[in-house]
Amino acid sequence: MRQTAQWATYFASDWRREFPLQIHTSSIAQDGSPEWHPDFARWLTASTRRQNPRNDEQRLRTTRVMRRLRRVAVREYEVLYRILVLNERLEETTSWLNERAMKNAVPYPRHRPGGPHYTSRDTLAIFIAGIDYCRSFW
């Protein structure tokens, strides 16, 4: 678990820089258009700034492995995204998984007829599997 936590922290620090969480502020710019949020403005100009090539290479490797994870294991990708980028707690992600399963009319697992689709232990297992995959291919 210690190794999983270390890699999760490492991936989160690189991966969060790939996602601006807000595009506009509630203000209006001088030209009358919605004003860009500072995070989004930094994200727009990030490709033109190359301060530390080594950090850029590490961030690029992290981005590539996350894209690969999204192609081969969507559920793991979604769990990692919600926890590492959006800073959701495990319980919040478990609730989201259960709500999504109910919305999509996914049948209950045989060993849990009547619910829930996911427990916190299931979400933790998905999280560990996602981190392990990323660590292996990073």
For residue 67, with 0-12 CB atoms within 10 Å meaning exposed, 13-18 middle and 19 or more buried, which class applies? exposed
Ranking 49-53, 55-59, 125-129 by mean pLDDT, the lowest is 49-53
In this model, does residue 60 exceed pLDDT 90?
no
For 61-99, the pLDDT digits (tens) are: 888 899 999 999 999 999 999 999 889 999 999 999 999
b or e along 8-21 (b: 16 or more beta carbons within 10 Å of the residue's beta carbon)? bebbbebbbbeebe
In this model, does residue 33 exceed pLDDT 80?
no
CA 20 to chain centre: 12
Over range 6-27, report the average pLDDT.
75
For 106-126, the pLDDT digits (tens) are: 888 888 888 799 999 999 999
Whole-model pTM?
0.72
CA dihedral (16, 5, 63, 68) positive or negative: negative
Q: How confident is the model at residue 48 (pLDDT cuts 50, 70, 90)?
A: very low
